[in-house]
Amino acid sequence: MLRLLQIEFIKLWNNKASRFLIVSYFVLLTFIALIAAIKFDIGPVKFHLAEQGIFNFPYIWHFNSFIAAWFKLFLAIVIVSMVANEYSNKTLKQNLIDGLSKKEFVLSKFITVVVFAGISVLFLFIVSLILGLVYSDYNEIGIIFSDLEYLFAFFIKLVGFFSFCLFLGMLVRRSAFALGFLIIWQVIEGIATGLLYWKTSNSFAETVTSFFPLNSMANLIKEPFTRLSAVKSVANQIGEELTKDYAVHWYEILIVCAWTFLFIYLSYALLKKRDL
Amino acid sequence: MEKILTINNLTKKFGHVTAVKDLSFSIEKGNVYGILGPNGSGKSTTLGIVLNVVNRTAGDFHWFDGNTTTHDALKKVGAIIERPNFYPYMTAVQNLSLVCKIKDVPREKIEEKLELVGLLERKNSTFRTYSLGMKQRLAIASALLNDPEILILDEPTNGLDPQGIHQIRQIIKKIAANGTTILLASHLLDEVEKVCSHVVILRKGRKLYSGRVDEMIASHGFFEVSAGDNEKLEAFLQQHKAFGKISQENGIITAFLSEPLDASELNRLLFEQGIALSHLSKRKESLEDMFLEVTKDQSN
């Protein structure tokens, strides 16, 4: 395990472009803290985002994991290219000749993905904890450590998304085309979702679309904005009742885990079948 | 003899094309093998299969005693296939460290092997700055990192300049002198003849010959002679029992031996007959002659 991770580390860390992207990703993740600095101070209108309750425990876990998930695109580039480059440099062939098995090759990529996701969660946890301790209105231990399932969902979401990238890199074998494919896939899901809602009942469409790979990952952490008390009170004033289920459900986790397994298994099956 | 690689009835089809057909041979420890064959005869495909990068259609193969998985066996093998493949953005040392990790060997050998192939001074340059000859030498260093039981080289001198070819040959000879088993695939016959003790000859994916080089060139050789009176010379040679086929071209008579005969002995015999030679040389058929002979019968 450690050996596979070390192999991947040597490949990634010595590549300037990947190193730059990885470092930027983690720096950006830390910069969530800067949201706290958003302040408008125009005469009588005083607005300080940090004081609107977004950093209240346990809401902060939900809010930050939703925001942090956007940055995953940085690592997506790294992951797609770390697979596709092995094909274009033909180093995959050399790795196999040197005595790495095809299973170990896929595993070394997957472990790296899991480690990336793990470190992201750790970063997010620390940054959110500090922000919360500074700005939160509630500081009881029981409240601080409630709703941590959002961090778990964040982890599953990242692993699922990165596994999808890994599979695309393996399938398409060119970084740029694989990233293009990712965007096209998003569009396809969008069109399919639109058609389903248009042609069938809402509940049926919702059930089916919750099984789409990218949509299932997006479903894990619902948008947190309408949950803010400030937004709620505005909605109430205009006569709109916001009742939404924000929780992380076990079956949503299960769907993403199933996709993750499928992507990794398909990557392995592809590699096994191919003549290099 | 200890077997290093055994191949049984190996077949590989790419769609309708059969690249390797029912191929069987084995590699024994301590010998230097050449796989000969024209382009597209299935050499690289065969090596690809045993090196775990090409899937076989039928047949099987096993490394060593057959009790290790292919990828574990490959850790005891050193191989270079066609072009050298490394991470272009990494230096020689970084690339070799990675290979050490994959092969599960300590990193101590890196300097030693770089010295062997003459790349020690450039060890901290990135791979993309290397010339083709240097890349090929780095590939050899990488293949030697684990002090392999067998070194597999596929067209190691392809595309190199004469100096590069010479360097690679010197390195191969040095390695062979250490007793390492070598499997060398090439279509350059003199290359194989110079370093190999055994050959496997392939054509269109089939095995035409496998065995020792000197047994393949098993004839007694031939004489090239000429004299002032070539007709008298030819008449004499034709009645002599030691000679088989005799031909004449450009004033030189080529006479193939059917039993051993010394050049000095022939000279003495002819002089006694009053024939003074202006040209006498005794030669052996080269591997190239034999290769063309073997592959000729199979055309169509």
A150-184 tens-digit pLDDT? 999 999 999 999 999 999 999 999 999 999 999 99
Residue in B53, B64, B95, B144 to test binding to A, most A beta-carbons within 10 Å: B53
Q: What is the DSSP string of chain B?
A: --EEEEEEEEEEEETTEEEEEEEEEEEETT-EEEEE--TTSSHHHHHHHHTTSS--SEEEEEETTS-S-HHHHGGGEEEE-SS----TTSBHHHHHHHHHHHHT--TTHHHHHHHHTT-GGGTTSBGGGS-HHHHHHHHHHHHHTT--SEEEEESTTTT--HHHHHHHHHHHHHHHHTT-EEEEEES-HHHHHHH-SEEEEEETTEEEEEEEHHHHT-S--EEEEEESSHHHHHHHHHHSTTEEEEEEETTEEEEEESS---HHHHHHHHHHTT--EEEEEEE---HHHHHHHHHHTT--
**What is the CA B169 to chain-centroid distance, rounded?**
11
Could you tell me if B271 lies within 8 Å of chain A, comparing CB atoms?
A: no
* pLDDT (0 to 100) of residue B124: 94
Residue A244 has pLDDT above 90, yes or no: no
Task: Look up tokens 């969530």; give the residue.
Answer: A32
Enumerate the β-bridge partners of residue B211. B199
CATH class of B222-283: alpha beta
**CA distance, residue A84 to nearest chain B CA (Å):** 13
CATH number belonging to domain B3-216: 3.40.50.300
| Higher local confidence (pLDDT), A208 or B287 | A208
Q: Is B220 exposed, middle or buried, given 0-12, 13-18 or 19+ CB atoms closer than 10 A?
A: middle
Kindly report, as residue ranges, where domains of CATH 3.30.70 are found in chain B: 222-283
Residue in A82, A98, A273 to test binding to B, most B beta-carbons within 10 Å: A98
Q: Return the DSSP state at A223.
A: -
* pLDDT (0 to 100) of residue B113: 92
Which helix (H) or strand (E) covers residue A111, if one does? helix A102-135
- Which residues of chain B make contact with A102, given a CB cutoff of 8 A? 52
Mean pLDDT of A132-138: 85
Query: What interface predicted TM-score (ipTM) does this complex get?
Result: 0.86
Mean pLDDT of A201-226: 90
Residue in A14, A21, A90, A97 to test binding to B, most B beta-carbons within 10 Å: A97
pLDDT band at A225 (very low <50, low <70, confident <90, very high): confident
The least confident of A1-5, A138-142, A185-189 is A138-142
Count CB pairs under 8 A between chains A and B.
80
Which portions of chain B are predicted below pLDDT 70?
218-219, 297-300
Taking an 8 Å cut-off on Cβ atoms, the answer to whether B79 and A11 are in contact is no
**CA distance, residue A102 to nearest chain B CA (Å):** 9
| Tokens matching residue B172 | 């191969």
Q: Could you state, in order of their start, the residue ranges of all structural domains in chain A?
A: 2-273
Residue A28's alpha-carbon distances to A21, A72, A133, B191, in angstroms, are: 10, 10, 20, 58
| Tokens matching residue A242 | 């916001």
| Higher local confidence (pLDDT), A6 or B164 | A6
Residue A46 has pLDDT above 80, yes or no: no
Q: Which of A10, A90, A273 sits opposite B85 (nearest CB)?
A: A90
* pLDDT (0 to 100) of residue A271: 95
Taking an 8 Å cut-off on Cβ atoms, the answer to whether A10 and B101 are in contact is yes
Q: Which of B55, B83, B103 sits opposite A99 (nearest CB)?
A: B103
Taking an 8 Å cut-off on Cβ atoms, the answer to whether A275 and B90 are in contact is no
Could you tell me if B147 lies within 8 Å of chain A, comparing CB atoms?
A: no
Taking an 8 Å cut-off on Cβ atoms, the answer to whether B86 and A91 are in contact is yes
Task: Look up tokens 């008449």; give the residue.
Answer: B235
Kindly report, as residue ranges, where domains of CATH 3.40.50.300 are found in chain B: 3-216
Q: Which of A7, A89, A93 sits opposite B53 (nearest CB)?
A: A93
**CA distance, residue B152 to nearest chain A CA (Å):** 10
- Which residues of chain B make contact with A95, given a CB cutoff of 8 A? 102
| Tokens matching residue A229 | 């008390």
CB B240 within 8 A of CB B255: no
* pLDDT (0 to 100) of residue A32: 78
